[in-house]
Structures are given as structure tokens and as C-alpha cells.
Structure 1
Amino acid sequence: MDDKRYPRKAYNMLLNLQRQNYNTWACSIRNVLYKFGFGVVWEMQGVGDIKSFIKEFKQRLIDCFKQDWHSALESHDFYNVYSHFNHSLVRSPYLSLLNNISVRRVFARFRIGMSALKFHYLQYRPVIHDRGINCPFCNDTPETEVHFLLTCQKYKALRDELIPSKYYRQPSMFKFFLLLACTNESTIQKLSVFVFKALTIRKQSLSVSVTL
């Protein structure tokens, strides 16, 4: 851009302030370029072929974001379960498939370990005794995602109605992961309804027991 243009004048002003150690918008541009391996662009104050640079820079941003995303999944205990059934950075089918906002929200929270289940609620909080995470309806059985989804007798009728028996017959963590990673539209819809209704049953049952 010609030096007479106002945007160019503004940039030159910011560049001069940056060289005097002022924190300006130009500093942010410099930091981003160095962060992603394009420091030479900043030093030269030019990119050569603009289309080629934009294409290469955009791809570098995408690649680095994917790498950071995978690294976060692997390094953070919070995503231990989630990382086993979501391996790629793509839009999960349920987000566009489930039209009911309440069902979609509850299902999404369950998938990322933020539901009302004791295992979710207490996994990062100090617990006085191991029994603190036990299922409120089953003796001495932790209320984990697998237990809630595939084995808890409280939701047996609902499970028989909505979840294919191949998943909860001889239940296992592997089958749990297969179910959550399923892309069949009918299975996703029924699974989300199960999670929503089962958590509603859980809430209502616990409210009644507390009241009594």
C-alpha cells in the first residue's frame, strides 16, 4: 500500500511506537508471526506473494490448532473418557441432528463429563470416603458413565426401550465407547433421549427421597 494511504500511515505509526517498546496492535502481529514460524516476514516487513503467504499461513494455523487440541485431550485428566470416543476435530453429528435444545444440552454435558452423576460431580473434588461416589440406587457401585448408561437397574426399562441390547448385554468400557462414538442417526437420537430422561428420573427420585 502506498505510504500516502491512511491505513499505511496508521500502520507506520504503530510500527514506530512498537520499536519504542510501546505495546501496540503491531506487537500482536509480530508475536503471531514469530509464534507460528514466520518471523522472517516481520523482519522483512513483507510477504512476497500475498496469495501464497495467506494459504501457507492459514494452513499453519490449522495444523497448530489441531496439534494443540490433541495435546490438550491427551494431557488433561478431565478429557480421559471424552478422548476415547472423539478422536477427530470435526463437528459431532448430534449437534445438528438433535433439534430439542434441552436434550442436546444435557447430552453434550454428559459427553464431556459435566452431568449430575456423582462420578462427574465429585471426580475433581475431595471425597471423604469412596462410597461418596456410589450410585444412589445401587449398593457399593460407583456411579460412573458406564454404570449409568449400561447397567444401573434404575433405568432398565428406559434402557430396554431406547438402547440396542448389543451395547448393554455383557457391558464393558469398550461397548460404552462404541455407543458414544456411534454415527447412526436413530441410535444417537435414542441415546440422547435416554440420557435426558434417565437424568430426569434420577433428579426426581433423589428429590423425593430427600423430601421424605
Structure 2
Amino acid sequence: MALQSMLNDLQVYCQTWGLKVNTNKTKIMIFEKGRHTSYNFVYNDIVLENVNFFKYLGINLFKNGHWNRTQKKLAQHASFSLHNLFTVFNQLELSIGDKFKLFDSMVGSVLNYGAEVYGYQEGKNIETIHCKFLRKVLCVKKATNLDGLYGETGRHPMRIHRKFIMLKYWTKLISLQNDCLLKRMYNVLKFDAENGLSYGGNNWACQIKQILNDIGMSNIWINQEHITINFQQVKNRILDIYKQEWYSNIRNSSRLSSYSIYKRSLETEDYLNKVNINKFRISLTKFRLSSHNLAIETGRYENVARENRLCTNCNLNVIENEFHFLLVCPKYYSLRRKYLKPYYCRWPSIHKFEKLMSTTNTQMLNNLSKFLYFSFKERTDNS
């Protein structure tokens, strides 16, 4: 009876707005887990087709109520857009900023489609597409640390952006009149959320409540009907918490031990726009993100103990890490004198290493990238 009433309401709604319903193609889906219940529902003497999934406004809904396959479908569609975007990159010389804008408009819009309702999900397949784009832009290998990718480009995971979308939609939803159908449905979810009914974590209102709790703004949830919500303030809090998480990750990563010396903030690096010759810029990027073939990195693949990843290009019997390669190893003495200031060539130290890798001076960045390019080239040619 409830279903019949809903169908009647739908018909009245469609008639009111001049919409037509094709009853010959009407389908029904029963949300359930682990079962395959089948009933013969009839509407206007037409038997409704019982289906396992249904596409509504471009979003795939599955009978188990989970969103994993939905985000997979979105990632598949976005991969086609990403391929077309890469074709554009191969034909045009674009700045890093322009590439980011094109990705957000052409691919990100697909990845985040419908995020208002499924945005709380982890979305591994969606993030795979995002990271594929970042690796392509930076020209680094697939195994490059993800926190390094975000740090170098100043971007954050798509899951963070989906939270923004959910909360922005929520602020609009709670401002609706109570007789609005959407608001009435939200009030049902809210009532259940406040009484501990999460539907196995699928209660949308519970997800909003959890996001606000996680960022220490549970007072907004409690007083949502009586206060004006500052969305920008909430957004900034989410970003601040993520930045702290990101900084902790690079500090605790053995792969990014050198990177953490000079990387302090989550923002796009200056050299990406100041080093205009691609081969030089790529050399600097690979060096910064440990996407290179120095012993400190290749030793990981062969399970060599860190203290045994020694430089084979000199007799100093020390680990071949980024600091040694850039400022110490005698093999690159002449190139070092050619491209780097004498200050960095005499009495090398971690402080000088940090200062050089943190520079924003255009000439120094270009010289540094040239030194790295020709040093790695010499190293490869002699291997």
C-alpha cells in the first residue's frame, strides 16, 4: 500500500509539472543485503520489472545500498575524459596551473558527480584517477609517494573535496522549509542519527554528523536549526586538519626523509612555473620526490639495508642519498662548481641543503635543475 501511495504521488507530481511517465518501462528495486527478494508489484495493470541496480540522474544505485561500485563506474567514465585531457597536453604547451584547471573542469567534475550523496566513501578508484593525473603532470614513476604528489602540487585528495560538497549541500538542505519533501526526508535521517541508527554507516545524516565531530565542530550539528553556518570556516578547519595529517605523514615516511627537511607547507612549488624547460624541471621533480635511481631508493627494491645503500661513484663509503648526490659526491664536482654558487660547494651541510632546496629564486632554481639533469645524465652514461 505504501508503494502504491508513493507511485500515485509520483504520478500526481508528474501531471502537475507536465511530465510524462512511461509505465511500460517502469522498474522497481528492493534495497536489501544478501538476499534476492522478488515480488510482483503492479501499477496500472503493468508488472514492474525487479532490477538489481538502477541509474538515476547519472548515478548508479545498487540494491545492497553500498557505493563502492558507484564510484568505480564514475572512475571508469572519468578515465575516458582523462585520456582526452592527456591528448590535449601532448598537443599544447600549458602551465601547471592551467593543467590543474582543465583537470578540475573536465575530469574532476565527473569524479565528483553526485558526491552530495556518496561523498563520505573512501573512493579508492576515484583517487587512482586523480593520482594518475598528478604523476603525468610531474612525470614521475607510479611508485612515487602520494603525500609527495600532493605536497609538490599543493593539492589534496578528492575525498577532502567530496566532504566540502556534502557539507555545502547540507547547509542548503537545512535551510529549506519543513514542508519540503527533501527536508522531510532529511528530518527522518536526522532523527535516526540522533538515536544511534546509522544503517551500517549508510545514514547520510550520520555521515554529516561524523564529519563535524571529526573536525571538532559538533556544536554546529547540535545547533543547526538556530545558527547561521559559516561554510568557509568549516572548509578551512577541514583543510587545516588535513594539512597537519599530511605534514605528519611526510615527517614519518622513510622514503621522504630528505623531502621533509625542506618541505614545510602544502602549496604548489614555485619551480613548477619558473623552470620552463621540461627536461630540467622533470629532473628536479624526480630528485625532490625520490623518483630517481640513487642507491637510497633502488636499495628498497632489492631489500638492501639502509646503511648498506652506499655510493659506488666515490670512495667516501657513505649512503648515496639526495644530500650526498647534490652537495658532497666528488664525481659531480665540476658540474657543481659550474651551476651552484661557491657557498653551497664549500663545507656542505644539511642547513645548506635545506636552503638550496627551498629557494624561490628563478635563476637558482634553473641552475639547480640543470645540475641535476646533467649529473643524472653523466651517472647514467657511465653506469
Q: Same fold (TM over 0.5)?
A: yes
Q: Deviations over 1:56-99 (max 9, x none)?
A: 32332233223223333333333332222122333321122123
For 1:160 and 1:116, the matched residues in 2 are separated by 23
Q: Which segment is superposed worse, 38-47 or 163-172?
A: 38-47
1:123–1:31 distance in 2 versus 1, CA, 3 Å:
same
- Aligned counterpart, 2:134: none
TM-score by length of 2: 0.47
- Aligned counterpart, 1:178: 355
Give the 3-state SS of the residue equivalent to 1:189 in structure 2: helix
1:34–1:141 distance in 2 versus 1, CA, 3 Å:
closer
Q: Deviations over 1:130-189 (max 9, x none)?
A: 5x5222321334322222112323323322221112101222222222211122110111
Give the 3-state SS of the residue equivalent to 1:190 in structure 2: helix
2:210 partner letter? N
CA contact (8 A) 2:280 2:373 kept: yes
Q: Which segment is superposed worse, 66-75 or 178-187?
A: 66-75
CA contact (8 A) 1:155 1:198 kept: yes
1:9–1:95 distance in 2 versus 1, CA, 3 Å:
farther
For 1:70 and 1:128, the matched residues in 2 are separated by 26
- Aligned counterpart, 1:136: 312
CA contact (8 A) 1:150 1:167 kept: yes
Q: Which segment is superposed worse, 7-16 or 86-95?
A: 7-16
Q: Deviations over 1:88-132 (max 9, x none)?
A: 3333211221233443333123113332110133258632795x5
Q: Which segment is superposed worse, 109-118 or 14-23?
A: 14-23
TM-score by length of 1: 0.79
- Aligned counterpart, 2:369: 192
Q: Which segment is superposed worse, 11-20 or 72-81?
A: 11-20
Return the offset for 1:24.
Answer: 3.5
Alignment of 1:68-83 (within 5 A): 68-83=245-260
For 2:226 and 2:260, the matched residues in 1 are separated by 38
- Aligned counterpart, 2:214: 35
1:82–1:124 distance in 2 versus 1, CA, 3 Å:
farther
- Aligned counterpart, 1:112: 289
CA contact (8 A) 1:41 1:47 kept: no
- Aligned counterpart, 2:338: 161
* Structure 2 portions without partners, runs of 5+: 1-175
Q: Answer 1 or 2: which has greater helix percent.
A: 1
Return the offset for 1:15.
Answer: 4.1
Return the offset for 1:33.
Answer: 0.9
Return the offset for 1:7.
Answer: 3.9
2:215 partner letter? F
Q: Answer 1 or 2: which has greater strand percent.
A: 2
Of 60, 85, 89, which residue of structure 1 is paired with 2:262?
A: 85
Return the offset for 1:10.
Answer: 5.0
Greater relative CO, 1 or 2 (CA 8 Å, sep 6+): 1
CA contact (8 A) 1:114 1:121 kept: no
Alpha-carbon RMSD across the aligned residues, in angstroms, is 2.8
Give the 3-state SS of the residue equivalent to 2:284 in structure 1: helix
CA contact (8 A) 1:73 1:80 kept: yes
- Aligned counterpart, 1:8: 183
For 1:100 and 1:8, the matched residues in 2 are separated by 55
- Aligned counterpart, 1:210: none
Higher-Rg structure is 2
Q: Deviations over 1:14-34 (max 9, x none)?
A: 546756432133332121011
Return the offset for 1:4.
Answer: 4.0
- Aligned counterpart, 2:128: none
2:313 partner letter? F
Alignment of 1:90-109 (within 5 A): 90-109=267-286
1:155–1:34 distance in 2 versus 1, CA, 3 Å:
same
1:67–1:141 distance in 2 versus 1, CA, 3 Å:
closer
Of 146, 154, 159, which residue of structure 1 is paired with 2:323?
A: 146
1:143–1:76 distance in 2 versus 1, CA, 3 Å:
closer
